[in-house]
A and B are shown apart, each in its own frame.
Chain A
């Protein structure tokens, strides 16, 4: 449906395509359901939990930072319609975490869980083979608390609510289960290129 009298003002042509319904944002908006979490590094830890609740690995900040580091250069897409191009994230890939924990065949799904209680669900496929990382640096700086520091999940090919802030751990699941926003009507998978914003998309 063409909207009467609308021609669009933000017609900056992106240097490469962005997903449908998105616009380019130079700033870095914040989407969070509650106050910003502030987790002191000496109290921070990261846990991998198996599908039966068994611990697979746990790292203090120091131990976590001694794992191999990877840098990714990518675009990110938020369900609230903005896309941000050319972001750089440094962190530990899920592949390296699985290697460090000695896990060779992780179950098919996972729930990322955060300080403050946030959760989000993902297929394991979407975070392995370089597709996801636990990031601690954004554009060369430690990630600010409002953007999810000390460490957040980064899964850039899905809408950014899947990239859980203030990450505390990952729990594997044999079956998919909805996380926080997913229970409120957000899509279970969240592919921005298919515009999977909400249930039924």
Chain B
């Protein structure tokens, strides 16, 4: 069963089913050269990296980045791949949101330029991935920089399954915080059965008619019915596959809301970026 995400080896006599496809070992650190830096928003930049050793990856996976100071002090963080697996081999996009009092994201924003070398390892991560064999329809829910791996899933779907009904619900503070906005707004032009919906939680532009509150069950019910409309109101055999990504509090909240509107737990995949207290 394609939606059987969380059930590997459940119960006292588990027969762990092999998640497919098993990733190659990401162990080796390698050097990547920064090819390009793209300003996405006032707080987000995309770093296009050329890997010394190209590796296949799945939409949704991430890379680890390791920075080393002259005295040997090191810092490691994870960054999701924003680009699609069908991107030219060995080129990956990472999008980093600035956390002003942070250590690694300010380094990316204030220091990194084209031509710089970075130590990276990957791809890493398995449960939070999408392959065409899993099907859909897809309901993708992003909070802030949680859009990054969902962008890879959206781009991959566009390349390999353009007729798969797909809805993105993206929660951002303001419209200026929406990363990849032009690309997302043009989703329906490129593939009519896909669409991005925003909820702007902190400030809305004049005349904004969209959502302006945190993700809640009522909003999800409306999104599910929009998704059903995109699917032509055909009764679908399976519940939508739901991918939720963002800061921990956002993911907890949105995943609970999905359960509350009756999405079965195995159809909900989560990736939590940030800390909680």
Contacts and interface: CB of A to CB of B under 8 A. Distances in A.
B12 A183 contact: no
Interface stretch (B19-27, B37-45, B167-175): B19-27
Interface residues of B, number: 62
Contacts of B13: 49, 53, 171
Given A29-B248, A34-B268, A184 B125 contact: yes
Contact of B16 (A1, A3, A49, A177): A177
A147 to B, nearest CB: 9
B272 interface: yes
Contacts of A201: 27
Interface string B255-277: 11011000001101110101111
A183 B18 CA distance: 7
B272 A185 contact: no
B81 to A, nearest CB: 15
Contacts of B69: 2-3, 6-8
B70 A21 contact: no
Nearest to B126: A184
B68 interface: yes
B14 interface: yes
A81 interface: yes
Interface string B84-110: 000000000000000000110011000
A14 interface: no
B11 interface: yes
A107 interface: no
Nearest to B257: A35
Nearest to B29: A1
Interface stretch (B113-121, B143-151, B214-222): B113-121
Contacts of B27: 198-201
B6 interface: yes
A116 interface: yes
Contact of A29 (B11, B22, B258, B275): B275
A183 B8 contact: yes
A139 interface: no
Contacts of A116: 6, 10, 265
Contact of A30 (B68, B74, B252): B252
B8 A6 contact: no
Contacts of B22: 183-185
B238 interface: no
Interface string A26-47: 1111111111100000000001
B119 A1 contact: yes
A49 B224 CA distance: 41
B256 A35 contact: yes
Contact of B252 (A2, A3, A36, A80): A36
B103 A8 contact: yes
Given A3-B68, A33-B269, A179-B16, A185 B23 contact: yes
Contact of A49 (B12, B73, B125): B12
B277 to A, nearest CB: 4
Interface string A151-190: 0000000000000000001010000011111011100000
23 contacts: A1-B119, A2-B70, A4-B111, A5-B111, A6-B75, A6-B107, A10-B75, A27-B276, A29-B248, A30-B252, A33-B269, A34-B270, A35-B255, A111-B14, A116-B265, A117-B9, A117-B10, A117-B266, A118-B8, A119-B8, A180-B8, A183-B126, A201-B27
10 closest A-B pairs (Cβ-Cβ)? A184-B126, A117-B10, A200-B27, A35-B255, A33-B127, A199-B25, A117-B7, A119-B9, A27-B277, A5-B111
Given A183-B16, A198-B121, 20 more contacts: A1-B119, A3-B69, A5-B107, A6-B111, A8-B67, A25-B275, A27-B277, A29-B274, A33-B128, A35-B258, A81-B76, A82-B275, A116-B6, A117-B10, A117-B266, A179-B16, A183-B8, A183-B18, A184-B126, A185-B25
Interface of A: 1-11, 20-21, 23, 25-36, 47, 49, 53, 55, 80-82, 111, 113, 116-119, 146, 169, 171, 177-181, 183-185, 198-201
